[in-house]
Amino acid sequence: MNQFKAQVVSLIVGVISSVFAAGILNHVSGFDKDDFFCIFLVFLCITFLVYLAIRILSIKTYGIDAIDKPHTTLVMNSQLSNCKESFDFLGVSARTILDAEGGHAIRTKLAHQPNVKLRFLLLDTACEEIGFKMAEDETGDRNNWVAWKKIIQASIDELRLIKSTMLTANIEVRIYKETPIFRSITTDGQFMYVNYYGKDFRPSETCNLRLRRKDISLFIALQSNFERI
């Protein structure tokens, strides 16, 4: 709330400054009074653009490259194909990357770049209470967890099958026992794509944050969480 007030005050100060600047320029230049409003609008636009530039730069300072609109999805296959060294996924299941092509994208990636390290952190199917609660929050029907649990296990089995059949594959599959808060993809230890879980909606229905590694950034906090759990 304090930050919101500070932003409002900054905008008000900008408007007042534009009025004074326009008045002074109008007086010094000897323009007609009718020109005052046009001059004021010019200064107001300049003030707004400067304010906007400062806000964007302050966001990027903390490693937030972009905020994509809701209803866009994390395109896992695209991020997987573009990574060069590593690919980390945190979510409930990896069905987005495994459903359509049955792990074909992973096999293709490892066939062409066997040194790429793939890590998947998925929800433990033994966490029944968490699963039922999550299904109820997202869909209104807690019994959907029964189907979700099968999908999670199928993802784990498929990833382990790929690892066992491709002996050089560097695949790590871990499970966690905490309530899912967000879903993320991290590529090459430098870029992260994040959306989140919540009541009455799924990650694919939320905005996506595109993060970049910085010394003081949300990226560092979220990646530390990935390593911790």
> Between the CA of residue 222 and those of 53, 71, 195, 225, what are the distances in Å?
26, 22, 12, 5
My answer on whether 150 and 39 are in the same domain is no
Number of residues that make up the chain: 229
User: What's the structural domain count of the chain?
Assistant: 2
The percent of residues above 70 in pLDDT, for the chain, comes to 69
pLDDT value of residue 128:
94
My answer on whether 51 and 157 are in the same domain is no
My answer on whether 147 and 56 are in the same domain is no
pLDDT value of residue 228:
87
**Highest-pLDDT range among 38-52, 97-111, 160-174:** 160-174
Tokens representing 201 are 């909606």
> How does residue 57 score in pLDDT terms, banded at 50, 70 and 90?
low
Question: Rounded CA gap, 118 and 133, in Å?
Answer: 29
Q: Do 155 and 122 form a contact (C-beta atoms < 8 A)?
A: yes
Where do we find the tokens 């790590």?
A: 172
Structural domain that includes position 56: 2-61
My answer on whether 98 and 137 are in the same domain is yes
Per-residue pLDDT, averaged over 197-217, amounts to: 79
- Is the pLDDT at 56 greater than 70? The verdict is no
My answer on whether 129 and 210 are in the same domain is yes
More confident site: 115 or 101: 115
Rounded to two decimals, what is the model's pTM?
Answer: 0.73
pLDDT tens per residue, range 166-191? 888 899 999 999 998 888 999 999 99
3-state secondary structure at position 177: coil
Question: Rounded CA gap, 134 and 200, in Å?
Answer: 10
CA 120 to chain centre: 17
Domain boundary among 61, 79, 108: 61
Domain boundary among 14, 36, 61: 61
My answer on whether 102 and 181 are in the same domain is yes
Per-residue pLDDT, averaged over 90-114, amounts to: 80
Q: What is the CATH number of the domain that holds 98?
A: 3.30.870.10
pLDDT value of residue 44:
65
pLDDT value of residue 1:
43
**Range scoring the smallest mean pLDDT among 43-47, 111-115, 158-162, 209-213:** 43-47
3-state secondary structure at position 29: helix
> How does residue 142 score in pLDDT terms, banded at 50, 70 and 90?
very high
Q: Do 122 and 173 form a contact (C-beta atoms < 8 A)?
A: yes
**Residue among 161, 158, 154, 83 nearest 116 (CA):** 83
